[in-house]
């Protein structure tokens, strides 16, 4: 697949290792990268973000083939792979860098995310997920890329559960 035909989506849902682990397995996802978005310093390191002072969120960049999946399907998958009701972290990982965030690239992505946030609230869920415009995505150090694939481990703060 030629990269120019792929679309991008950005999701933060706690530890980026677990978020990437699930998105790597999703139908139509061609590539992922873990990094940081939303902060106030350029080229942050993992160590800097862990200080909770940079304003960044651990984020996964998802490159997907729209012939095989849709942004809507990825938004639903995002909500099904983490606890979107937790407001200051994910599972045992506590801190602002682990918050649940959907970063939208355009009006269509924003409206799709709003649609599912509203739907979840209507069926009784508490939704702490923030919705923010895309800013610069700073790729994390190489040792953080595809962490669980390389280590053979499993995410400790993410689990899939069918909602939609």
50 carries an active-site annotation: no
Instruction: Give the model's pLDDT for residue 1.
Output: 52
Contact 10, 37 (CB under 8 A): yes
* Catalytically annotated residue among 15, 50, 126, 157: 15
Instruction: Give the model's pLDDT for residue 151.
Output: 87
Instruction: Give the model's pLDDT for residue 3.
Output: 62
Instruction: Give the model's pLDDT for residue 155.
Output: 86
Instruction: Give the model's pLDDT for residue 156.
Output: 83
Vertex 164 angle, CA 9 and 57, to 5°: 35
Q: Where are the beta strands (DSSP E) in the chain?
A: 7-13, 29-37, 57-64, 89-90, 93-94, 100-104, 130-133, 138-139
Residues of the chain with pLDDT under 50: none
Number of H helices, E strands in the chain: 5, 8
Instruction: Give the model's pLDDT for residue 157.
Output: 83
CA-closest candidate to residue 34, choices 52, 7, 57? 57
Matching CATH number, 3-151, of 2.40.50.140, 3.50.50.60, 3.90.79.10, 3.30.1060.10: 3.30.1060.10
Both tokens of residue 45? 């390191």
């Amino acid at each position: 697949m030629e990269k120019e035909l792929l679309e991008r989506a950005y999701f933060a849902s706690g530890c980026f290792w677990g978020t990437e682990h699930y998105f790597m397995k999703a139908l139509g996802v061609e590539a992922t990268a873990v990094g940081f978005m939303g902060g106030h310093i350029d080229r942050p390191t993992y160590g800097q973000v862990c200080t909770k002072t940079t304003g960044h969120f651990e984020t996964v960049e998802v490159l997907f083939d729209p012939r095989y999946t849709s942004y809507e399907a990825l938004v639903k998958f995002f909500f099904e792979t983490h606890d979107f009701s937790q407001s200051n972290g994910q599972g045992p990982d506590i801190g602002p860098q682990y918050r649940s965030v959907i970063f939208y690239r355009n009006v269509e992505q924003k409206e799709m995310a709003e649609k599912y946030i509203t739907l979840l609230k209507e069926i009784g869920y508490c939704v702490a997920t923030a919705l923010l415009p895309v800013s610069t995505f700073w790729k994390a150090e190489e040792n953080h890329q595809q962490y669980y694939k390389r280590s053979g481990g499993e995410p400790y703060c993410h689990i899939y559960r069918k909602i939609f």
